[in-house]
Structure 1
Amino acid sequence: MQSAEQRRPAAVLIGPPGSGKTTIGTLLAGHLGVGFRDTDADVEAVAGKPVSDVFVEDGEARFRELEAAAVRAALEEHDGVLSLGGGAILDESTQEALAAHQVVYLQVKLDQAVRRVGLASARPLLVLNPRSQLRKLMEERRPIYERLAKVIVVTDEREPADIVAEIVKGLA
């Protein structure tokens, strides 16, 4: 049986939409020789439908319940790199659970996030006036991201390999 320390994710990536959590997480996992897991994908697997459909059909509250459960399970089960949905950190129990982990905040400026996400995004919280909504989400969540992070990495105008190298150095 593995100890809790051995099961702990190697890194937990947090940040707003467009910060690069999936791209960087996949590369970081490959670099570390571990698996990659995304809690949004876990929510979709449990719900049997895309995150955007969960929001529209079941509401944000239901999505957040599924998300919090997915984060708890992943923190207990996954030993690789874990990517959390941008709003997962809003849940207080998630914030408490993250205190014991290697949390990496992928920081991105608004213009970069908009370019990466696109204004015709299928992301449910960005449906009406995506740029304004994204700005609001980023401003509201930034203090939480910063408080939870053990490592903060700026992703603007950088090559993914350079970001991964900085994360590895920060986790050492």
Structure 2
Amino acid sequence: FVEDGEPHFRELEKAAVREALAVHSGVLALGGGAVLDPVSRALLAGLPVVYLSLEVDEAVRRNGLGQARPLLAVNPRRTWRELMEARRPLYTEVARIVVATDDRTPDEVADAILDALELKDYPA
């Protein structure tokens, strides 16, 4: 779908988010651009959304910022920073919890999420 362009991808993403939120009651992992759509953000309002934050060095370590990410094809570090500057306010708008993931194992991140959910008294 890369040849169809980002607008087409975002339309597919919006439809997928709407459907997933309508039919799935468990944990959903959304793509980084899912919050760009105001309707998707409205659908996330009131849900126990967790924003898993990371910095550029951690993103490079995990993903390499390589060819699998079309938006990061040119100058990936700068582009990633620009994307995050634009998206971070949207992430924090919808998130009830922010968990930093830098230098943490998946188990440590999961424990931090569970701790935050218990402290915030969110329904399971």
TM-score using structure 1 length: 0.66
Match of 2:70 in 1: 124
Q: Could you tell me which residue of structure 2 aligns to residue 70 of structure 1?
A: 16
| Aligned residue in 1 for 2:106 | 160
Show the 5 A alignment for 1:69-148: 69-148=15-94
- Whichever residue aligns with residue 136 of structure 1, its letter is E
How many Å apart are 1:107 and its aligned residue?
A: 0.6
* Percent identity of equivalent pairs: 54
SS in structure 2 opposite 1:83? coil
CA distance in structure 1 between the partners assigned to 2:85 and 2:59 by the alignment? 13
Structure with greater proportional strand content: 1
Deviation at 1:160, TM superposition (A): 1.3
Query: Tell me, which stretches of 5 or more residues in structure 1 are unaligned?
Result: 1-53
Deviation at 1:119, TM superposition (A): 3.6
User: After TM superposition, where is structure 1 displaced by more than 2 Å over at least 4 residues in a row?
Assistant: none
| Residues 30-45 of structure 1 aligned to structure 2 (within 5 Å) | none
The count of aligned residue pairs is 118
1:15-74 CA-to-partner distances (Å, cap 9, x unmatched) read xxxxxxxxxxxxxxxxxxxxxxxxxxxxxxxxxxxxxxx1x2211111101000000000
Long gaps (5+) in structure 2: 119-124
